[in-house]
């Protein structure tokens, strides 16, 4: 929660935020993708041990932030379990809709 407190302290007056966009995918799928990436990335940290540590950090530090945005009704989720093309198209449409809504709200 320190991340969101710091963000609000520093950026609250300089940045209008429409909320949080979360790319939802199962941990099993994330592991599968990262292990697949390891075959071409050359990254030493794309291994099961490092991935599990990153997942633990994500669950400890990011999940509470998503709960905060959900309470504010500023949480938006994209199903990221599909193909990269599908996720891109879904995200693009969503962002366009939010920009249009946000722009209309700001003009009033």
Over residues 90-104, the mean pLDDT reads 84
Percentage of the chain exceeding pLDDT 90 = 41
Over residues 7-26, the mean pLDDT reads 81
In this predicted structure, the answer to whether residue 107 has a pLDDT above a threshold of 50 is no
- The predicted structure's pLDDT at residue 108: 44
The owner of tokens 């093309």 is: 85
Q: Which CATH superfamily is domain 2-107 in?
A: P-loop containing nucleotide triphosphate hydrolases (3.40.50.300)
Residue 54's nearest CA partner among 25, 27, 77, 23 is 27
- The predicted structure's pLDDT at residue 106: 52
- The predicted structure's pLDDT at residue 25: 95
The pTM score is: 0.75
Report pLDDT digits (tens) over 53-91.
Answer: 999 999 998 888 899 889 988 899 999 999 999 999 999
Over the range 18-48, which residues count as b (16 or more CB within 10 Å of their CB) and which as e? eebebeebeeeebeeebeeebeeeeeeebee
Q: 1 falls in which pLDDT band (50, 70, 90)?
A: low
């Amino acid at each position: 929660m320190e991340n969101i407190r710091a963000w609000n302290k520093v950026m609250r007056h300089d940045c209008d935020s429409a909320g949080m966009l979360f790319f939802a995918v199962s941990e099993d799928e994330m592991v599968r993708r990262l292990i697949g990436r390891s075959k071409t990335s050359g990254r030493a940290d794309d291994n099961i041990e490092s991935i599990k540590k990153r997942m633990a950090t994500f669950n400890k530090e990011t999940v509470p932030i998503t709960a905060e945005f959900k309470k504010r009704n500023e949480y938006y989720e994209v199903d990221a379990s599909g193909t990269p093309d599908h996720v891109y198209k879904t995200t693009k449409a969503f962002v366009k809709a939010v920009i249009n809504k946000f722009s209309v709200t700001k003009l009033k």
